[in-house]
Structure 1
Amino acid sequence: MADLVHPARALWWLFEPVHAVTYFLPEGKAALEDAGLHGSWRGYFAARSAPLGAVDAPPVIAAFFNFAPSMVERALPQVWTYAGPEEALAARLKGAAASLARLLEHVDREQIELATDTLEQAAARLDCAGRVLAAANAALPRPTGLYERLWQAATVMREHRGDGHVAALVAAGLDGCEALVVRCAMDVRREMLQPLRGWTDEEWEAAAGRLVERGWLTEHGTVTELGRIRHQGLEAATDLAAARVWEDYPRAELDRLAAALKPISALCRSQLPVNPAGLPDNT
């Protein structure tokens, strides 16, 4: 792991693509469709929110944070008439395992086992207080298959960091759309991210206007020096919120985990059609 990058962030760069396979790869989509969840976003909202139970839209809007409320409301709660949370949970795990089995066919099994065991151990040590998605995923039964275990452990770790990131964004005074506008002003194309989160042009421009008024953006939509400083602060806060679980790990053990995860992550990342999480290009 690079010395200039916080270990919590460097490891997130590696386990985020593992988590994402169930939502973007053909096996994941097929498993969700087999469960009755036709349409990418219907399957996504059902699969990701399923650990919370058959919830209505408001708690998912709050937990997912940067999706337009209208987009969530188009899926929930109607999605539960097509498949219940148990069916969605089974489908997402089945799809993830099938994807990983295909992608990791030629990866040494001991390497996969090392990454899985270490991520599971870390997930078991997480403090999920105040982190709704992480807590709900951590409470799920431990799968038996290796690929299922790898995906679930990566998912618990990912949602734990994500919950902390939402807290950092709220503490920074950003709402969901504003957070996306800032990110797109820095290094992600608006035309890629805006449609994926469901915000209208009017909502996007209003958010940009609020950020200009508060000094985050210039009138031309570029990030100000104040905006960069505040963005760096919220990213550092996210790292800090995710760091505690790794503090007792010797550096050599963290490097060993990173080395085991890197080829796994690279294979997963190579198959993802988009990068909504804003991972760096060289991950």
Structure 2
Amino acid sequence: MPVPLPAGVAGRANRAVDSLHAMLYFAPESDEELTAVGLRPGRMCYFASRSAPMGAVSAGVTTATFYNFNPALVARHIPRAWGLASLDDILAARVRAADRALRRLLGDDVALSPVVEEAAELARAATVDLSPQGRPLYAAHAELPWPTEPHLLLWHAVTLLREYRGDGHVATLLGSGLTGLDALITHTATGRGFTVPAAKATRGWSDDEWDAAADRLQAAGILDGDGGLTAAGLELRESVERATDELGAAPWITIGPEATDRLIELGRGLSRQLLASGAFSAEVFARSGG
């Protein structure tokens, strides 16, 4: 009988390892490798590389699974990307970018170390029994071949964990009645997400679209007159996070508390090294369109 997961553990585990995947979206190696196979730099590289495991999907499918991007922004790049580069080339370029970025940010001495190898095996074990039902991005990524090098194996495993949790998060947001833009606004209002200008810029929402959604959320009692969360808004966001944790608990139940704690420890250490190397610096963020 699996040991029940204590409250908050799923969220902590996700935060501990997530940077090992997310760094790719800010790494110059990503645009370099993806533009080399034919894509245009910037957001096209992001939309195409992340949705390519699902096949040559439409802008609507990409928007639905990514959830909080402006559909008009996605439609400027998808499906155009599929006519510029093959899916196989995009997926191969993404792996090459992850390889180069991790080696640069961690250094070969760490990227190829026993620490990374241990973290990779723990993260991979956490994905073994995950169900793809109702989780389209996870299901698509889970069908990709596993890399053999430990640093890439870790990156792929963390990618699966991220998309598994993300699919559950989208389901939770949908169940809570929050649209993609609502979710972005209320998350930003917690003070733990993007700033408002960065959220608008990276997700493609205009001032008018943002303000109209904020007015609706104020009328619903979710936001106050200053754009902050009301008591009801705070409870809504907390309930979303609790439900996301519940839907994302399976990986950590699978490996158990000791292995989960160890992966959190290793993940935090590696994430600190990424940060120290400038993986998410203001300069890098600005280059990504933030």
| Distance (Å, rounded) in 1 between the aligned partners of 2:151 and 2:270 | 11
Matched, 1:210 2:212: no
Alignment of 1:3-82 (within 5 A): 6-82=8-84
Of stretches 224-233 and 142-151 in structure 1, the one that deviates more from structure 2 is 142-151
Matched, 1:273 2:281: yes
Residue aligning to 1:167:
171
Q: Deviations over 1:50-70 (max 9, x none)?
A: 001111101111000000000
Work out the number of aligned pairs and report it: 274
Residue aligning to 2:288:
none
Q: Deviations over 1:217-265 (max 9, x none)?
A: 1122111001001110000000010002212434222221112222212
User: Structure 2 counterpart of 1:127, which letter?
Assistant: S
| Distance (Å, rounded) in 1 between the aligned partners of 2:131 and 2:177 | 24
| Distance (Å, rounded) in 1 between the aligned partners of 2:159 and 2:255 | 20
Residue aligning to 1:129:
133
Residue aligning to 1:252:
258
User: Structure 2 counterpart of 1:145, which letter?
Assistant: E
Q: Secondary structure at the match of 2:228?
A: coil
Q: Alignment RMSD, CA only?
A: 1.9
Stretches of 4+ aligned residues off by more than 6 angstroms: none
User: Structure 1 counterpart of 2:55, which letter?
Assistant: G
User: Structure 2 counterpart of 1:121, which letter?
Assistant: A
Residue aligning to 2:245:
239
Residue 147 (structure 1) shift? 2.1
* Distance of aligned partners of 1:4 and 1:219 in 2 relative to their CA distance in 1, 3 Å threshold: farther
User: Structure 1 counterpart of 2:281, which letter?
Assistant: P
Match of 2:87 among 85, 88, 91: 85
| Distance (Å, rounded) in 1 between the aligned partners of 2:76 and 2:148 | 34
User: Structure 2 counterpart of 1:258, which letter?
Assistant: I
| Distance (Å, rounded) in 2 between the aligned partners of 1:260 and 1:70 | 39
| Distance (Å, rounded) in 1 between the aligned partners of 2:65 and 2:259 | 32
Residue 112 (structure 1) shift? 0.3
User: Structure 2 counterpart of 1:251, which letter?
Assistant: P
TM-score normalized by the length of structure 1: 0.92
Residue 4 (structure 1) shift? 8.8
User: Structure 2 counterpart of 1:256, which letter?
Assistant: R
The question of whether the paired residues in 2 share the 8 Å contact of 1:54 and 1:84 is answered with: no
Percent identity reads: 37
The question of whether the paired residues in 2 share the 8 Å contact of 1:94 and 1:148 is answered with: no
TM-score normalized by the length of structure 2: 0.90
Matched, 1:103 2:105: yes
Q: Deviations over 1:197-220 (max 9, x none)?
A: 001111101110111111101122
Specify every segment of 5 or more residues in structure 1 that has no aligned partner in the other structure, as ranges.
Answer: 277-283
| Distance (Å, rounded) in 1 between the aligned partners of 2:185 and 2:254 | 36
Residue 5 (structure 1) shift? 6.3
Matched, 1:180 2:184: yes
| Distance (Å, rounded) in 1 between the aligned partners of 2:255 and 2:87 | 35
Match of 1:196 among 183, 198, 202: 202
| Distance (Å, rounded) in 2 between the aligned partners of 1:52 and 1:249 | 27
The question of whether the paired residues in 2 share the 8 Å contact of 1:22 and 1:29 is answered with: no
User: Structure 1 counterpart of 2:211, which letter?
Assistant: E
| Distance (Å, rounded) in 2 between the aligned partners of 1:185 and 1:262 | 26
Q: Secondary structure at the match of 1:49?
A: helix
The question of whether the paired residues in 2 share the 8 Å contact of 1:24 and 1:273 is answered with: no
The question of whether the paired residues in 1 share the 8 Å contact of 2:53 and 2:144 is answered with: yes
